[in-house]
Amino acid sequence: MTTTPSAEPVLEEPVDARVVRTRRDVLAATIEELVEGGWDGVTHARVARRAGYSKATLYAHWPDRLALVRDAFASFGQMPHHESTGDLRGDLIGELTSFRSAMIEHRLDRALAVLAERAGPVPELTEVRNAFVEDGERPMRRALETVLTGPRLDAVTAMLCGAVVHPVLLHGHSPTDEELEVVVDVILRGLPETR
């Protein structure tokens, strides 16, 4: 429900299931094209063909390639994360496990590689990258904020994310459960008892 300047409540229109389905299909097809063909693979024609919709439908909702990619990466933020339990070790391992799954199952590694490559030459993608990273790191940061702040929080978040990104992107394999547990344990041993 929203309010107008007169403070009268206005009910929002219910979301049409067809709109939800179209959006889901198109954004998934956008990521697939990005993963398979890179930045140049994301065209309205290719995405429309893959998703099974007309180019006119795509242009009506996403006037350019940047809008498609921006919304596709925003849809990644809707991916499942580990549900916080209040146990720092368990929450960090759970979030790293969720991140590892996203890297593999959703080919997030390829999508991130394209995003990293194009963020420099296409400044608008820098905002997309920053928002995507912020959304992805949020659960881990919330868990760590119970014991860290400032540059230490940033450094530990980067180290934990690197435990997944490094082996997947640079070695072509995902870290094992045991490796993720070791990384978390090593980092936790270096943390202060209290903030």
Q: How confident is the model at residue 6 (pLDDT cuts 50, 70, 90)?
A: very low
Provide, rounded to the nearest whole percent, the portion of the chain with pLDDT above 90: 53
Residue 92 makes CB contacts below 8 A (sequence gap 6+) with 140, 143, 144, 160, 184, 187, 188
Residue pair 70/43 in contact (Cβ under 8 Å)? The answer is: no
C-alpha 149/C-alpha 153 separation (Å) is 5
Q: Is the pLDDT of residue 71 over 50?
A: yes
Q: What is the mean pLDDT of residues 66-94?
A: 88
Residue pair 95/139 in contact (Cβ under 8 Å)? The answer is: yes
pLDDT digits (tens, 9 = 90+) for 160-189: 999 999 999 889 899 999 999 999 999 999
Q: Is the pLDDT of residue 7 over 70?
A: no
Q: How confident is the model at residue 78 (pLDDT cuts 50, 70, 90)?
A: low
Q: What is the mean pLDDT of residues 129-141?
A: 89
C-alpha 121/C-alpha 126 separation (Å) is 9
| Single pTM value for the model | 0.76
Residue 87 makes CB contacts below 8 A (sequence gap 6+) with none
Q: Which two tokens stand for residue 187?
A: 């980092």
Domains of the chain: 2-76 (1.10.10.60), 88-189 (1.10.357.10)
Amino acid at 165: V
What's the pLDDT score for residue 193? 66
